[in-house]
Every structure is written in structure tokens, then in C-alpha cells.
Structure 1
Amino acid sequence: MVFTRGDVSGEVEETIDHHDPGANIEVVTWDGPEDPGNPYNWSLRQKWTLTLLASFATFITMMNGTIITVAHETINSEFGISDASFPNSYWPVSSWAVGGGCFSLLILPLMEDFGVRWVFLSSWLIFICFVIPQAVAQNFATLIVTRFFAGGCVAILANTAATVIGNLWDTERSRNIPVSLYIVTYLVGASVGPVVGAPIYEFLSWRWIGYLQIIWYGALFPIYFILFKECRGIAILGSRAKALRKQGRMAYTQHEIDSEGKSIWRIVGRSATRPLVMYFTESVVFFSGMWSAFTVGTLYLFTQSVEQVFAGLYGWSPSQAGYVQGAIVIGECIGWVGTLFSGRLYFNSASRNTEDPGKPIPEARLYLAIISGVLGLSGGMFVYAWTSYTYLPWIAPAIGLAMVGAGSVIVVTGISDYVVDAYAKYAGSAVGIIVTGENTFSAFLPLAAMSMYSNLGFQWASTLLAFISLALSLAPILFLVYGREIRARSPFMKEAMIEKRRKSVESV
């Protein structure tokens, strides 16, 4: 998940002006603070329409990643694939997640320079083109290759909501609910895939999972084409400048002036390398990335372990195992309510902030996330582990799954909000590498599920995951204790904090 704010591109670069100094250049800006064309000044109805459209796109496209998992037995049989010694049937999901990790770093930065609407709509059409082969594939390799590119497109489509929110909502308070809504649709979309895929597979066939996706993605495209407006400020101003140049005026936006002489590859290259630098030099980014990646990766692991556990304990079919993953979805919806309470804790911390009086403490975003990591994620995995016995009803381990679902939403929301608040203008780069980690764990962690649950047993395999989750949930306590010192040593955080204070003074 990538979250960017407004028109911040993530770095401060020198202004390179190749224009004739004597030329009468007109810099196109907003027509005052109340300019109705500025997305920050749009009506609440317009803002919520675009926010809900983007969030629904996140939900419906993330489903593509896991919806096919319930049909793995039939796909294996048709294409001669064996899971006897290794879960080869998961490779289409792994390639999907790897594609998402690659494209999130390479393509998403383009939205900052070219706007949201056309990148989004183009990605939607390309996505449909790669869903079609998933329905008509004649060999297993086709599934793996086409799902790599489909996952790349979904990385753009699903994370567009974050960019839209940053472009529409100008304060932390106004962004609180939209951001939490985006994250819950992101996680629910991934978890609900097997639940939706189960009845399609059971009553139709595995190919109809692809056919129906083609139908609903194709039907939704005209709706998005009509209603999905451009909300990126530099793109809107760029259109105004282009119209003025057609009238013969030397009109340019400041972004166009600053970007002159810079190739698109240089822009993308800088955007792709900075996250790697931050990951290996910033302790906050590293530990937050590991925590979030393991959390999201575990949700994908359940697409493998749930079937293995419930088939082994109760003799359930893949379709029935798909249905029970609805417990995770229910938990994630409950967790979304918890994120609203977490927001209150964060804003109330402003009264206790002695470092920057009147401003919320960035680490306050982690209060409920740490508790939810311990009780929800780790606690849910312990429940899932030690209720996995044949003499206990199926609802017992399902409750553990729901606890994990609730904890995951609160944890991922807390991490995202904390990193955004701490790194401000560098948030896009910081969260960008976190997204790459999430996709990497989603791609490869589930490949270990079969051997783990076979060799360690249902109880100890889940217990191992619970202890890892517990360690990752307790590590951020160091951020609470040493948060001020960590921010003082971080060049990225210091520069971001100075920039935030400057903007705060200018707004006053």
C-alpha cells in the first residue's frame, strides 16, 4: 500500500530553468485559496464519491489475487501439476504478488507526474487484457505469466485509493476515516477472494472464476471512465497551462518548470532507489516493513493452511475451506471499527506532546497497533493453533482466524499512518518499500505452509507463526520509548518535520 499526500513528489530538487530568462513566463497556480478547481476545495459529495470509487476499486481488484486458490486441485489435474512434495499450485499467486511488488515501485510514481485518472484507466484496461488469459489458459505457464502482469496492474489500481485520499483530504483528521477505509478494503479484498471463488468453483467451473471477473471488470470500466475524475493538483494545473499555451501564452506550472530536462527514467529511477536506501538505513522503515509484511503475508498463508487444517480435521473440501475464510473477513471489518478508536488516541496525544506542543505524537499511531498485534494477531494464531483438534468444533479455530483478521487491519493501519506522519513528504518512498515487502511475503511465505503444517503439525506450525508475530508486535515498543531520539537521528524525519512546521507556520 502506497500513501502519498497532495502534490508532494517525495523529494526536494533544485529548480532547473532552461527557459530564456527574458521570456515572459506565466506560472500557472491556483486562483487563490478558494479555487473550486483545487480538489481540496471540492464538495464533500465529490470527495466521498471519488474516495468510495477508489476504495471499491481496491476491494474488487485485490480479490483477483486469491480468488483462484480454491480451484487448485482441478487446475493441477487439468495441467498435470503436483502438490505432492511442494505447493506448485500456489505459483500463480506468487507470480501475481511479485508483479505487484515490481510495479508498485516502477509505475506508481508516474501518478505524481502525470496525474491519477489516465494512469488508473489505462491500468484497468491492461488488467482486463491479462484477466482474459486466466480464464482461457491452455497450460500452467500461461497462468503464471499473465498473473504476474495482472498483479502489477492491481498494484496500481488498488493503491490508487491512497493517492486519491492524499489529493482530496488536506488534514490528518479529515484523512483518518478515508485511510482506514482504504486499508480495510485492501485487506478484505485479498481475504474475500476464496470466499467468492468457492461458490463459483463449486457450482460452475474454475474457468468461470475468470469469465465472471472479465464480466464485472468490463462492466465497471464505463462507470469509472465517467465518474473517476482527475484529482491530482499538478495534472489539473497542467491542463490549465496547456490550454493557455494554445492561446499563445507562455504558461507553465512550477512542476513543469522544475521537471524540464529530466527524463521519465530519471524520475522513476530516483523514486525506485530511495525506498531501498531508506529500508537499509532507517530502523523505523525496516521494522515497520517487516511487521507489516509478515502480517499481510500471513493472510495469504491462510489461503493454504486453512484448507490443509480444515480438510485434515473435518474432511472439508476446498470450497468449504474457502467459505470458512469468511471468518477473517468478519474480523477485518471489526478491526476497521478499532482503527477509528486508534485515531482518537492519536489526536488526543496532542495535549501531552512536549516536543511539538499542540501536535499529535507520531508514535501514538502505534498504541492500539501494538495491543492488537499482541492480542489480535498473536493471540488469534495461538487460538487457531490450539483449537485445531478433531474433538473441537470448527467454529473454535475460525474464531482464531477472525481475531487475526481484526488485528491485521489495526496493525497495518497503524503502521501506515505512523510512517506517513513521521516521514511526511518522504512517506511515498517509505511506504513504497513496505508495499514491496508485503508483496514479497505474500508471494513466498505461503509456499512454506504445506511443509510447515505437515512436519510440525497443525498446532506447532501456527504456534511458530504466533511467536514470530509476537516478537514483531513487541519490537515497536522501542519506538514509543525512544521515538524522539530516533526522529532526531533520522535525516529523512528531521527534514520532514522541518517541512511540516514550515507549512504549519505558513498556513497561520
Structure 2
Amino acid sequence: MAERSKPEPGHQTTDTDSMEKRPDSKPVSTPPGDDNTLVSDADVDVEAYAAEEQETTGTDPNVVDWDGPDDPENPMNWSVKKKWLNIAVLSILTFVTPLGSSMFAPGVPAIMNEFNETSATTATFLVSIYILGFAFGPLAIAPLSEIYGRRPLYFWGNIFFVIFTVCTALSKNIGMFMAFRLLMGLSGAVPVTIGSGSIADVMPVEKRGRAMSAWAMGPLLGPCIGPIAGGYLIEAAGWRWVYWLIAIMGGFCIPVSLIWLRESFAPVLMEQKTRRLRKETGNPDLYSKLSARAPPKEEFRLAIVRPLKLLLLTPIVTLMSLYVAIVYGILYLLITTFSFVYAGQYGFSEGNIGLTFLPAGLGMLIGVIVFGALSDKIVKHNKEKGNTHKPEIRITPVLTIPSGTALPVGLFLYGWTTEYTVHWIVPMIGVLIFSTGLMGVMFSVQNYLLDTYPRYAASCTAAISLLRSLLGALLPLGGLEMYNALGFGWGNSLLGFISLALIPIPLAFFMFGERIRGKFNPKL
């Protein structure tokens, strides 16, 4: 007999109750959300929905549902240990792949010399081509994860990442090197793209801040810590050993993910349960409550355009992604100047240049811890007061004004102290301030979009990643010419004024976001 337990009265519907539907089944309804489920169409008739649910699932014996509100198969009901073990594995995966973006940066001069290249644009593109993979990879990764689940993407993405890393280490010319770095970026984008979706699968809204903090340390600290180790490794053993080390670390993650990483996407788990029950009961008419009537090809067609729909048709995703993209591009532009500033103006050696990335990493660490804890505290306090949770609480001025203001302050300090060659510790403090603010901005925006579109968390991340990574890859190409024309003082001041002008964006959505969500609600 099909299992079709209904939540008991008063039971809160989790995010998993409103996830995407699966193929090969009859049409079913998805809940509009409550304290733990936040969707863009807030003005839903709850009574009408409840009546519809009673009609569609309460009388159909072929519907397969969770075994009540406490079903241990439901990812929201996993034990605390199991949830955090999953997040820990995700954090490891998400730490390794971003290392490829900048760990070899101190060795760019050696690579250019070995392959007989002299173009400054080529030197910059060696770093940024990896980020192009992070830009376009998510457009396929996100929809695939919403059809086939998270775990297969993590596993196979890591395998291909290791293969392409080995190929990069064996490169014989500059073309081969850049081609495999691009492929590294495409495959390495998997954990960065769907990690936030995996967290939304298992964590209630009031605990996502801490979980996101733990996961975010990997993709944010990796590009900053990597060059520190990379500088000394390149100095001692050559640039190829950077890629051998990354391949070894990625190879270690393959058995780790195979053993401990579990599928968390509710529609996939429910479909697996449905297939098992069909086999056990001999009833071919059983179908998942979270399934869809669209055939697989149609479902993939809808899923593949979803990130672009979110990016182009929803002002919330468009403007927030633009904000993150600009500040992220500025970060990568700053990173490309470190070698010139600290080697040329302060006389740092090739190995010691790697240490100049440490302030950025420390700033990000501070930002993750402070804004992650503060975000959860604000959400919890709001719920304790009896208020209905709204996504806009994630971008309250308490979070966005300090973080947004830190960006121009850090840029002004870095720019003018390097312009006049003030002691190297002062521009490093500027980078630390900028990085702390950057984390506050990115953290607030990502949590806001995650709460706004929980069913499509991976697609939201893909939309953000597209703009963010494009600017991260392309801005440094023209940025060095800007510094040549304006100098470090006015060049960074220009970036500071731009970041200052962006502060009103989250404030506008804090005040009018609910109204905008109701007006712009495309079919996803």
C-alpha cells in the first residue's frame, strides 16, 4: 500500500515540501510555504491550498509521501550529526576547487617565461579564465541538480576536476594550459553552485546562517589562502606542483564524498522511495507527491533556462547579482595588483607575495563569522516576537549598511597608501576591511535570495555566479590599464565611489522587496 501520511495539525511544512516536481507522474500541488518555506508568491490563499491538498492527496491511495512529520528519510529530519557531516564534506569540496583559481598566481611570471609569452593581457587571462568556467558551468550544473539530485553532481564533478587538473599539470604550451584551466573551472563549479541548495535542503531558515557560514569558508578562503602556500611551493618545486597538489587533494575527496555525502534533494529521495514501493507492492500506479507530469526532456528544458529567467525577469535577482558581481570583480582586480604592488613597491620575494593574500582571507573569515551569527540572531529574534519571517529580514540595514560602507573605506585606504608607499601593513589593513565588508554583502544577498526562492536555490546561485564570475574574470583584464592611467590612488578611489553608489540597492529591497516580489513573479 502506498505511504501517504499527512502532516499533523500544527506541523510546519519544511522547504522539502515545496521543492521541484519530478517527471513521469501526475500533477500535484506544492505548498506556498510558511515559517520554513519562503516563496516569491506570498499572497497565496492558504485555505484554498489546504482544501486542494486534501482533495489531491487525501483521497488518492497511489500518492507516496513522507511517513508523517518525523520521517527520518526527510532531510529536514536528519540528525544534527548527519546534517553537519554532510555540510562538512561540502565545505571540504568547496575549499579544494576554488584553490585552482589563484593558488598558482605567484607563479604566473614563471609560466609566461616557460611558454615564451610576454603579453600582460595573457598573464591576467591565465588567472581569470578559470573564473569563466565558474561563470558558465552553473548554467548546466544547477538544472541538472534539480533533476537528478545533488550527490551525483558532486561525485562526478570532482572526478572530472581531478582529471582536468592533472592535464593542466602536464600542459606543453600556453593554449593547452588555458584550455584545461577552463575545464577545471567548469567542473570545479559544482560545489560552489549547489552547496547553498544542499544547505536549504536540510536546514530550517533560522539555522541557515551558521550552516552557510561553515560552507562559505571554503570558496572564500580558498582563493586567499591558496596563494600563500602556492608562493612557497612554486619557489621550492615549480608551478606544476601546484596542480599536482590540487589533484591529490581532489583525489582524496572522491572516496570521502562517496562514503559520507548523502543525497539531500527531497524530490529525488521521494522518487527513489516511490520506485522502491512500486517494486515491493507490485503497484505500477504509485507516484511521488513531489513529482511532475512533464517528461524528462521538457523538465530539463524548463530547468536549463531557469537561472537566466531569474536573472533577466526578476529585479531582485538581477540587481542583487549585479551588486555582488561588481564587488567580487573588484576583489579579483585587487588580487591581480598584489604582485605588482608588493613586489615592485615593497620588495617582497616570490614566496612572500603569497602572504599578501592573508589579509583578504582574514577579512573574509571575520565577515563570515560576524554576519552569519548576526543574521541568524536577527531571524531568531524576529520569530520569537511572533512575526512572520520575511526574506527582507536578511538585508536589514543593520547588516547591509556597515558591510556596504566597509567596501569604499577599504578601497580608499588601500589605494592611497599604496600610491604613496606607506608601510605595507596599512594597505593590508585596507584589504582586510574591504574583504570583511565583501563577506557581509555576499552573505546577506545570498541568504536573501535563498529565502526568497528556496525551491530554486541552485538556480539562484547559478544566476549570481554567472554575473559574479564574468566580472571577476573580465574586470582585471581592463583594470590594469585603469591603474596605469589613474594610478593606485585615484584608480581605487573610482572603485570605492562605485561601491558606495551600490549601497542603496539592498536598502531599496528591504523597504519594497515584498511588493516587488508580488509584481515580478515569472513562471519558473
Q: Normalised by the size of structure 1, how large is the TM-score?
A: 0.86
User: CA 1:11–1:234 in 2, change beyond 3 Å: closer, same or farther?
Assistant: closer
CA contact (8 A) 2:161 2:187 kept: yes
Q: Do residues 6 (structure 1) and 16 (structure 2) align?
A: yes
Among 340, 344, 347, the residue aligned to 1:312: 344
Shifted more, 158-167 versus 465-474: the winner is 158-167
Q: What RMSD in Å do the two structures reach over aligned CA positions?
A: 2.7
Among 373, 379, 394, which residue is 2:409 paired with?
379
Deviations 1:170-191 (A, max 9, x none): x211222102222332222222
Deviations 1:418-454 (A, max 9, x none): 1222344454444421111111111111112321222
Deviation (angstroms), 1:298: 2.1
Identify the residue that residue 33 of structure 2 maps to in structure 1.
Answer: none
1:358 paired residue number: 387
Gaps of 5+ in 2: 1-13, 28-59
* In 2, Cα distance between equivalents of 1:219 and 1:229: 17
Matched, 1:225 2:258: yes
Question: What amino acid is aligned across from residue 116 of structure 2 in structure 1?
Answer: G
Instruction: Decide which moves more: 343-352 or 332-341.
Output: 343-352
2:441 corresponds in structure 1 to 411
| Whole-angstrom CA distance in 2 between matches of 1:216 and 1:58 | 12
2:160 matches 1:126 = yes
Matched, 1:323 2:355: yes
TM-superposed deviation, 1:372: 3.3
Q: Deviations over 1:309-331 (max 9, x none)?
A: 22232122443222111110011
Alignment of structure 1 residues 328-343 onto 2, 5 Å: 328-339=360-371, 340-343=373-376
Aligned to 1:454: 484
Q: Provide closer, same or farther for how the CA distance between residues 8 and 441 of structure 1 changes in structure 2, counting only shifts above 3 A.
A: farther
In structure 1, the partner of 2:499 is: 469
For residues 88-487 of structure 1, the aligned pairs below 5 Å read: 88-169=122-203, 171-247=204-280, 248-250=282-284, 252-254=286-288, 258-259=292-293, 261-263=295-297, 266-339=298-371, 340-349=373-382, 358-366=387-395, 367-389=397-419, 391-487=421-517
The aligned amino acid for 1:451 is: E
Read off the aligned partner of 2:405 and give its amino acid letter.
Answer: L
- List, as ranges, runs of 4+ consecutive aligned residues in structure 1 with deviation greater than 4 Å: 7-17, 349-352
Deviation at 1:138, TM superposition (A): 0.3
Q: Is 1:75 matched up with 2:99?
A: no
Structure 1 window deviating more from structure 2 (399-408 vs 477-486): it is 477-486
Structure 1 CA distance for aligned equivalents of residues 90 and 138 of structure 2: 16
* Structure 1: segments with no counterpart, 5+ residues: 18-23, 497-508
Cα offsets for 1:132-175 (capped at 9, x unmatched): 01111001111211111211111112333222212211x21122
Change in 2 beyond 3 A, CA 1:442/1:259 = farther
Q: Percent identity?
A: 27
Instruction: Tell me the distance in 1 between the aligned counterparts of 2:244 and 2:456.
Output: 41
Aligned-pair CA distance for 1:70? 1.3
Residue 480 of structure 1: CA displacement?
A: 3.0
Distance 2:520 2:423 in 1: 51
**1:388–1:397 contact (8 Å) kept in structure 2:** yes
- SS of 2:199's partner is helix
CA distance in 1, matches of 2:273, 2:310: 36
Judge conservation of contact 1:191–1:299 (CA < 8 Å) in 2.
no
Q: Distance in 2 between matches of 1:438 and 1:97?
A: 9
Separation of aligned partners in 2, 1:220 and 1:482: 44
Paired residue type of 2:425:
I
Question: What code does the residue aligned with 1:61 have?
Answer: T
Are the equivalent residues in 1 in contact too, given 2:408–2:500 (CA < 8 A)?
Answer: yes
CA deviation profile, 1:290-341 (whole Å, cap 9, x unmatched):
1111122222222211112222321224432221111100111111222111
Q: Where in structure 2 are the equivalents of 1:24-43 lying within 5 Å? A: 26-43=62-79
Q: Check 1:16–1:10 CA distance in 2 against 1; reply closer, same or farther (3 A cut).
A: closer
2:197, 2:457 within 8 Å by CA — same for their partners in 1?
Answer: no
- The answer on whether the counterparts of 1:332 and 1:409 sit within 8 Å (CA) in structure 2 is yes
Q: More deviation in 473-482 or 414-423?
A: 473-482
Moved more, 112-121 or 382-391: 382-391
SS of aligned partner of 1:249 = coil
Note closer, same or farther for the CA distance 1:239–1:479 as it changes in structure 2 (3 Å cut). closer
Question: Aligned partners of 1:482, 1:464: CA distance in 2, in Å?
Answer: 29
Larger CA deviation: 475-484 vs 97-106: 475-484
